[in-house]
């Protein structure tokens, strides 16, 4: 059983790297942001509660986040382990998390703010299946359309310059201290997020001591 948390500033490649680990090692990928975005797309009551907060690039309240995490973790649908992305993001969430769950390692993807701005402002998302694209590194074959399902590509509501600045300052103020808490108790693996997607993935596998995947 492998139990990981992946952390890093917006645009550092957390989601992409977590999905690659999921595919290679049969892990369950738990992204709190993806859960919220699903609720917004489906117009659920929770979606209505978080839509405006997310669009402004602000953090959703801790009670709501903890409830979502508790419910998601309660499903226990992993045989080989999980990788959590986008949580915990502040001191209180970290305390809740450490009291409730065990993990083996924290992967921390490091990326300078200038590179974050460059990447995030060129990010696009499929409005129908949620697949990520990047107009610099990972362009779709047909402009504005998802390669997988043909859905329309949109800009995430929180990928505007204003929302990004708010998320960056939240990250430095609130999320960085989470790393310090983890460093005291857990094994934090710092990985340089500036390299290519494949290079970052192999650095993660190496530092976690993961074997080459099957097949």
Q: Which sequence positions are flagged as catalytic?
A: 14, 89, 123, 156, 167
Is 184 part of any known ligand binding site? no
* Residue 50 marked in a binding site: no
Give 82-135 as a DSSP string.
Answer: EEEES---SHHHHHHHHHH---SEEEEEE--HHHHHHHHTTEEEETTT--EEET
Residue of minimal Cβ distance to ligand AMP: 33
Pick the closer one to ligand AMP by CB: 10 or 17: 10
182-208-93 Cα angle (round to 5): 25
Question: Is 44 known to sit in a ligand binding site?
Answer: no
Residue 65 Cβ vs ligand AMP, minimum distance, rounded to whole Å = 4
Q: Which run of H or of E encompasses 41?
A: helix 32-41
DSSP letters of 48-78?
HHHHHHHHTTPPPPHHHHHHHHHHHHHT---
Q: What is the separation of C-alpha 35 from the centre of its chain, rounded to a whole number of angstroms?
A: 11
In angstroms, give the least distance from the CB of 124 to ligand AMP.
14
User: Footprint of ligand AMP on this chain (CB under 6 A)?
Assistant: 10, 32-33, 36, 53-54, 57-60, 65, 86-87, 89, 93, 158, 167
Beta bridge partners of 109: 8, 191
Q: Please, what is the minimum distance in Å from the beta carbon of residue 63 to ligand AMP?
A: 11
| Three-class secondary structure of residue 145 per DSSP | strand
Q: Which residues are annotated as a binding site?
A: 11-16, 37, 58-60, 86-89, 93, 123, 126, 129, 146, 149, 156, 167, 195
Q: Which residues are annotated as a binding site for ATP?
A: 11-16, 123, 195
Q: Which residues are annotated as a binding site for AMP?
A: 37, 58-60, 86-89, 93, 156, 167
């Amino acid at each position: 059983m492998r139990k990981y948390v992946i952390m890093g500033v917006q645009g550092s490649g957390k989601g992409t790297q977590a999905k690659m680990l999921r595919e290679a090692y049969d892990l369950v990928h738990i992204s709190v942001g993806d859960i919220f975005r699903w609720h917004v797309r489906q117009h659920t009551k929770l979606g209505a509660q978080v839509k405006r907060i997310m669009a402004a690039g602000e953090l959703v309240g801790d009670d709501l986040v903890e409830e979502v995490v508790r419910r998601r973790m309660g499903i226990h649908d992993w045989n080989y382990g999980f990788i959590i992305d986008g949580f915990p993001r502040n001191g209180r969430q970290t305390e809740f998390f450490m009291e409730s769950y065990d993990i083996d390692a924290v992967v921390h993807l490091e990326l300078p703010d200038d590179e974050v701005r460059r990447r995030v402002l060129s990010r696009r998302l499929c409005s129908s299946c949620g697949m990520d694209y990047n107009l610099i590194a990972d362009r779709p074959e047909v402009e504005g359309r998802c390669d997988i399902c043909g859905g329309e590509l949109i800009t995430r509501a929180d990928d505007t310059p204003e929302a990004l600045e708010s998320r960056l300052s939240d990250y430095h103020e609130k999320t960085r201290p989470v790393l310090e808490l983890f460093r005291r108790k857990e094994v934090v693996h710092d990985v340089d997020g500036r390299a290519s997607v494949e290079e970052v993935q192999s650095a993660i596998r190496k530092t976690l001591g993961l074997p080459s995947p099957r097949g």
